[in-house]
């Protein structure tokens, strides 16, 4: 275990939080997942259990190991259960106010002054989150990628206050304990991956919006012409169109570059609740029980009720 870190907390049990909790538990860590209430906590447990079952079904994990991992997890609706954690990873909605509120609360709850408070933000300033606490030197970005149990990358993002010791600790934790590959980034909107990825996704959205090509055609072109495993609009659906829009807004707020601005279609789809795979419909349609369904033809889906 990395430098004695054996007790981890995760705030948020959605797609990302559940994945982070799963990889921690599979790495032998005592892990507590906190959600807004007991109902959401149970849903988070179901999400992790389903992911472990899929890993077993694909032959990636033994049944006994999956059961052991689930037994290492505690799901709670009370942030107070994180008091004894040595590392807490925040993975709530990509909203500055929501994340700032979590960090301010964790600063009061987590008892060990040497504990690390990490954020899984895709684009928001780590410095600002750290300033919501009295331990900004122990606050760092620890940005995982979806699906967390599968993708090997973690971006470690240091703020102007993050200490060298904190950075070294989380890098060792991510690499030696979780088995991930680390790329270090400065504290700039989008970090490394999303600063490169989001303009590409937004270009595909604008191409569909203009009627230049269909959503299916755009994705097929990049999958078959460039050997991408998933086209840009399918990838946007996987990430979640609300998350793509939020990252784009953060990038645009910081850099004021037009290529970062979310398009009207993307904004309307988010407003309509057409968020991609997690809602069953985005640029493509999905059977939520079985994964991708038939692709939607036409320049783009019409934003409206499902």
| pLDDT mean over 68-88 | 97
| pLDDT mean over 199-204 | 98
79-93 per-position pLDDT tens digit: 999 999 999 999 999
Residue-range domain boundaries for the chain: 2-186, 193-292
Looking at residue 276, the DSSP 8-state letter turns out to be B
231: tokens are 């086209």
- The least confident of 59-73, 191-205, 238-252, 280-294 is 280-294
142-168 per-position pLDDT tens digit: 999 989 999 999 999 999 999 999 999
- The least confident of 36-50, 267-281, 287-301 is 287-301
Burial 81-117 (b: 16+ CB within 10 A, else e): bbbebbbbbbbbebebeebbebbebbbebbeeeebbb
Nearest-10 Cα torsion for 23, 25, 30, 32: 70
User: Could you tell me the pLDDT band of residue 288, with boundaries at 50, 70 and 90?
Assistant: low
Active site residues: 122, 143, 155, 194
298 has a pLDDT exceeding 50: no
Q: What dotted CATH number matches 2-186?
A: 3.40.50.720
Report the distance separating Cα 214 and Cα 212, nearest Å.
Answer: 7
> By three-state DSSP, how is residue 42 classified?
helix
- What's the pLDDT score for residue 2? 44
Report the distance separating Cα 104 and Cα 172, nearest Å.
Answer: 26
0.95 cut: is pTM over it? no
225-253 per-position pLDDT tens digit: 999 999 999 999 999 999 999 999 999 99
| pLDDT mean over 130-143 | 97
Sign of the C-alpha dihedral computed for residues 151, 262, 14 and 168 taken in this order: positive
Q: What is the mean pLDDT of the chain?
A: 92
Strand extents, DSSP E, the chain:
7-11, 30-34, 73-76, 87-90, 116-119, 139-144, 153-158, 181-186, 286-287, 291-292
- Among 248, 216, 214, 210, which Cα is nearest to 230's? 216
For the 193-292 domain, the top CATH level (class) is mainly alpha
């Amino acid at each position: 275990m990395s430098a004695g870190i054996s007790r981890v907390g995760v705030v948020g049990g959605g797609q990302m939080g559940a994945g982070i909790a799963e990889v921690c538990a599979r790495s032998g860590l005592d892990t507590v997942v906190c959600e807004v209430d007991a109902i959401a906590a149970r849903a988070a447990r179901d999400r992790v259990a389903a992911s472990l079952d899929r890993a077993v079904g694909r032959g990636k994990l033994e049944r006994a190991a999956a059961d052991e991992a689930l037994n290492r997890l505690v799901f709670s609706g009370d942030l107070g259960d994180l008091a004894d954690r040595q590392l807490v990873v925040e993975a709530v909605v990509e909203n500055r106010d929501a994340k700032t509120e979590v960090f301010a609360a964790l600063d009061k709850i987590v008892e060990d002054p040497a504990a690390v408070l990490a954020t899984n933000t895709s684009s928001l300033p780590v410095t600002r989150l750290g300033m919501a606490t009295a331990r900004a030197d122990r606050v760092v970005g620890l940005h995982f990628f979806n699906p967390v149990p599968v993708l090997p990358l973690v971006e470690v993002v240091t703020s102007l206050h993050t200490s060298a010791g904190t950075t070294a600790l989380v890098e060792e934790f991510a690499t030696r304990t979780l088995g991930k590959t680390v790329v270090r980034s400065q504290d700039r909107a989008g970090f490394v991956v999303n600063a490169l990825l989001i303009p590409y996704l937004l270009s595909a959205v604008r191409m569909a919006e203009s009627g230049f090509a269909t959503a299916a055609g755009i994705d097929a072109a990049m999958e078959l012409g460039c050997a991408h495993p998933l086209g840009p609009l399918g990838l946007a659906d996987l990430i979640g169109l609300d998350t793509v829009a939020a990252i784009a807004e953060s990038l645009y707020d910081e850099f004021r570059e037009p290529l970062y601005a979310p398009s009207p279609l993307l904004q309307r789809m988010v407003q309509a609740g057409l968020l991609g795979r997690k809602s069953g419909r985005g640029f493509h349609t999905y059977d939520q029980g079985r994964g991708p369904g038939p692709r939607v033809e036409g320049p783009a889906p019409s934003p409206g009720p499902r």
